[in-house]
């Protein structure tokens, strides 16, 4: 026989109230749901989905919603209502997905995740996950963030020259940028920002102009790959870990040898035509996978 409330999921949390659940434990559950995709907490339900009722202290739905709002930052507008039966009342607490990162007033930041056994749990959200979460919500442009301890000395002058050449060649409407000094150019393109009076490279700046050793130190996971596939067989698998402008040019050079041609005949004339037209980054049998 199935239990009335089913089983816990990423958006569904059961909390027993037989021993009067501490408010801190309830707040942890609410914060974790708000920092994920939202969901519902059923207070007065055991882990297996069996309703056992709520403590009399928790039977004020309005007061419970107010407590949650007062003890979360920013305040979570959870909606509480009593459901179940008169004999076994259960408090249903609907938690909206937060458009920011929420914490308890004591500073705990949690999120929901699935364990190996397929059951959900609430776990701490670490600093790097907070930045990713804000980026996913459109509240933070991670690429525009300054890179701590990096300086303009981490930029490669050759890559700065490459950037100027590209602007001059392809961006006719932006050629006025070429009249700027190096520092002015970097600032206008948001490759650097000013923090406490100091000019610091952004992540974008390092990825575009950074020296090889600086990229290894500040962005160790930076990598791009060029692959040529024949069915499921990999014919070419070339990795690149340099600045992006240089990498893009290197990958572009790799396309030509792997771009087959077909003979096109029109009347008395025939010519070889590349399968992938010039300027198109992908063609049949080719796959570019940045990472």
Instruction: For residue range 211-227, list pLDDT tens digits in order.
Output: 999 999 999 888 888 88
Q: Where are the alpha helices (DSSP H) in the chain?
A: 23-34, 61-70, 127-136, 157-170, 182-188, 203-209, 212-218, 244-255
Q: Give me the residues of the chain with pLDDT under 50, please.
A: 1-2, 280-291
Q: Could you report the per-residue pLDDT of 144-195, keeping only the tens digit for each?
A: 889 989 999 999 999 999 999 988 887 666 778 889 999 999 999 999 999 8
pLDDT at 128: 80
65 vs 210: CA distance, rounded Å: 50
- CA-to-CA dists, residue 101 to 84, 98, 200, angstroms: 32, 7, 26
Residue entry with tokens 């409330």: 5
pLDDT of 171 = 61
pLDDT at 276: 59
The overall pTM is greater than 0.85: no
Predicted confidence at residue 68, as pLDDT, reads: 97
Give the residue among 290, 287, 259, 286 at the shortest CA–CA distance from 273. Answer: 259
Q: Give residues with Cβ within 8 angstroms of 204, minimum separation 6.
A: 143, 144, 190, 191
Q: For residues 62 and 81, what is the distance between their CA atoms, to the nearest angstrom?
A: 8
Cα–Cα nearest to 155, from 246, 72, 240, 42: 246
């Amino acid at each position: 026989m199935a239990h009335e409330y089913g089983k816990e999921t990423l958006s569904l949390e059961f909390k027993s109230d037989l021993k009067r659940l501490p408010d801190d434990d309830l707040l942890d559950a609410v914060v974790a749901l708000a920092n994920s995709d939202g969901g519902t907490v059923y207070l007065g339900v055991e882990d297996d989905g069996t309703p056992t009722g709520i403590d009399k202290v928790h039977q004020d739905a309005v007061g419970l919603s107010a407590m949650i709002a007062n003890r979360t930052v920013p305040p979570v507008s959870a909606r509480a209502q009593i459901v179940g039966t008169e004999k076994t009342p259960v408090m249903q607490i609907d938690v909206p997905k937060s458009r920011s990162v929420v914490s308890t007033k004591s500073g705990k930041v949690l999120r929901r995740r699935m364990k190996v056994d397929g059951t959900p749990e609430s776990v701490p959200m670490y600093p790097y996950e907070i930045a990713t979460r804000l980026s996913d919500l459109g509240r933070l442009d991670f690429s525009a963030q300054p890179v701590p301890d990096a300086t303009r000395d981490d930029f490669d002058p050759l890559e700065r020259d490459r950037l100027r050449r590209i602007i001059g060649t392809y961006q006719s409407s932006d050629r006025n940028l070429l009249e700027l000094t190096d520092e002015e150019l970097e600032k206008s393109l948001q490759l650097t920002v000013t923090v406490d009076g100091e000019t610091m490279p952004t992540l974008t700046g390092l990825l575009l102009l950074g020296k090889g050793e600086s990229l290894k130190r500040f962005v160790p996971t930076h990598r791009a790959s060029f692959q040529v596939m024949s069915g499921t067989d990999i014919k070419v698998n070339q990795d690149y870990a340099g600045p992006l402008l240089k990498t893009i040019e290197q990958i572009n050079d790799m396309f030509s040898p792997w771009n087959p041609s077909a003979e096109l005949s029109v009347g008395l004339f025939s010519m070889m035509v590349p399968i992938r037209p010039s300027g198109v980054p992908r063609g049949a049998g080719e796959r570019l996978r940045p990472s």
